């Protein structure tokens, strides 16, 4: 099984197949979603104390905060680079 990984900043990596949405944290509904995820213990803060610039929603219900712009994460998501298959890095 091949797994594509996406760098979301500061060496943090997320499985590309699990990402449902990448949004900006500016709107009130997104801020509420972040607070609800925090209350349910499914919030992952990968900002290293910096300003949140992208909020990533996954198919497992987790919400990930990133200090990288949503456009940057999306560009990295569309990049067809190395893939991990059976514990080994292969290229596509």
d(CA 66, CA 73): 9
In 3D space, the residue among 42, 56, 59 whose CA is nearest the CA of residue 7 turns out to be 56
pLDDT at 65: 98
The span from the CA of 65 to the CA of 47, in Å, is 6
Q: What is the pLDDT of residues 32-76, one digit of tens each?
A: 999 999 999 999 999 999 999 999 999 999 999 999 999 999 999
SS3 content of the chain, % helix, strand, coil (to 5): 25, 40, 35
Instruction: Output the pLDDT for position 9.
Output: 95
- Which pLDDT score, from 0 to 100, does residue 84 have? 73
Does pLDDT of 1 surpass 90? no
Please give the structure tokens belonging to residue 86: 């059976």
């Amino acid at each position: 099984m091949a797994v594509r990984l996406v760098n979301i900043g500061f060496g943090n990596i997320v499985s590309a197949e699990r990402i449902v949405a990448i949004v900006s944290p500016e709107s009130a509904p997104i801020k509420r979603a972040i607070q609800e995820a925090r209350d349910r213990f499914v919030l992952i803060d990968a900002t290293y104390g910096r300003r949140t610039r992208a909020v990533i929603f996954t198919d497992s219900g987790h919400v990930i905060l990133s200090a990288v712009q949503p456009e940057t994460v999306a560009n990295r998501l569309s990049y067809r680079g190395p893939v991990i298959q059976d514990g080994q890095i292969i290229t596509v």
